[in-house]
Amino acid sequence: AADRLKDKIILITGASAGIGKATALELALAGNGQIKLILTARRKEKLDELLSELQLKYPNIKVLTVSLDVSKLDTIGPFVSGLPQEFADVDVLINNAGLALGRDEIGTILPEDIQGMFQTNVLGLITLTQAIIPIFKKKNSGDIVNLGSIAGRDPYPGGGIYCPTKAAVKSFSHVLRKELISTRIRVLEVDPGNVETEFSNTRFKGDLAKAKAVYANTEPLVAEDISELIVFALTRKQNTVIAEQLVFSSNQA
């Protein structure tokens, strides 16, 4: 695995917490610190904490932290074109930033939450992917990992917007994979069930009792369960595409 990751430039969105953060740590471990990470999210201070942790463990690792809000679509192009030379030739894009806002019936869901979910989970992901693809096409190689969800396959009441956003991620991943079929660019997707992260706190807007209740008696997955799968898919031979990984805890049918 270390050979396949060596010197790769890996861009992660939503790297300040949860699955994105765990993926940064897992990649550094699998690559023996011989990788370059571009860590992005809105909370730069969290990214810088992660940078310190990584540098302590792997003195040779190269890490760039950038505050990037993927829902601000017009900032994405300038972010990619403004990457310092040492990080500009991106090899792997991990489209992880995403969120659910509320679990309300369609009649009561707030317009700003509808917009927030689509802007982040769908439009941000698509816009960043569009900005990165020319870099991959130029060298005819690269990997795109999209975070879908079980919600994109099996919609539920109260998921009226979140579920469609993840279905859109799935559809987009399929189209992309087919469009890129004759290239050496892979499109990989991971579709988790419940994973205990900050996701639920965000969904229930800080109502920790409601957030915790989601995981009660379910023995949920943790972020590392997902980051392991991401790293597994990325470290297969370049001709091996693990297109989709559907994974949930044994208590969540």
* Best CA proximity match to 118, nearest among 131, 108, 127: 127
120 sits near ligand NDP (criterion: CB under 6 A): yes
Cα separation, 64 vs 47, whole angstroms: 9
DSSP assignment of 85-147, as one string? HHHHS--EEEE----------TTT--HHHHHHHIIIIIIIHHHHHHHHHHHHHHHT-EEEEEE
CB of 129 to ligand NDP, least distance (A): 14
Candidates 199, 204, 211, 233; binder of ligand NDP (CB under 6 A) is 199
**Residue located via tokens 């009649």:** 107
First to last CA, the chain: 32
Q: Which residue type occupies 40?
A: T
Is 57 catalytic? The answer is: no
* Best CA proximity match to 194, nearest among 221, 230, 227, 156: 221
Candidates 5, 9, 18, 233; binder of ligand NDP (CB under 6 A) is 18
Considering beta carbons, is residue 32 or 246 the nearer one to ligand NDP? 246
173 sits near ligand NDP (criterion: CB under 6 A): no
Candidates 49, 89, 104, 198; binder of ligand NDP (CB under 6 A) is 198
Considering beta carbons, is residue 4 or 103 the nearer one to ligand NDP? 103
205 sits near ligand NDP (criterion: CB under 6 A): no
Is 166 catalytic? The answer is: yes
Binding site for ligand NDP (CB under 6 A): 13-14, 16-20, 41-43, 46, 68-71, 96-99, 120, 147, 149, 192, 194-195, 197-199, 202, 223
Catalytic residue IDs? 162, 166
